[in-house]
Structure 1
Amino acid sequence: MKALVSAFNAWTCIVISAFGIVILSIIGSMFASGHHSMMGSTEDPVNGGKVAAAVFGAVVVYAVFLVFCALQAWLHARSSGRGEIALR
Structure 2
Amino acid sequence: MKPIVSAVQAWSCFVISCFAIVILSVLGILFRGNHPELVGGEEDPEDGPAVAATVFTAVIIYAGFLIFCGFQGLLHIRENRRGSIAL
Do both share a fold (TM > 0.5)?
Answer: yes
Q: Which runs of 5+ in 1 are unaligned?
A: none
Task: Name the Cα RMSD after superposition.
Answer: 0.7
Give me the whole-angstrom Cα distance separating, in 2, the residues matched to 1:72 and 1:43.
Answer: 42
Aligned length: 87
Give TM-score, length-normalised by structure 1: 0.96
Q: After the TM superposition, which residues 1-88 of structure 1 pair with which residues of structure 2 at under 5 Å, given as runs?
A: 1-87=1-87
Cα deviation, residue 36, structure 1: 1.1
SS at match of 1:17: helix
Cα deviation, residue 45, structure 1: 1.4
% of aligned pairs identical?
A: 54
Cα deviation, residue 46, structure 1: 1.4
Give me the whole-angstrom Cα distance separating, in 2, the residues matched to 1:11 and 1:64.
Answer: 14
SS at match of 1:84: coil
Structure 1 segments, 4+ long, off by >4 Å, are: none
Give me the whole-angstrom Cα distance separating, in 1, the residues matched to 2:12 and 2:37.
Answer: 31
Cα deviation, residue 34, structure 1: 0.7
Q: Which runs of 5+ in 2 are unaligned?
A: none
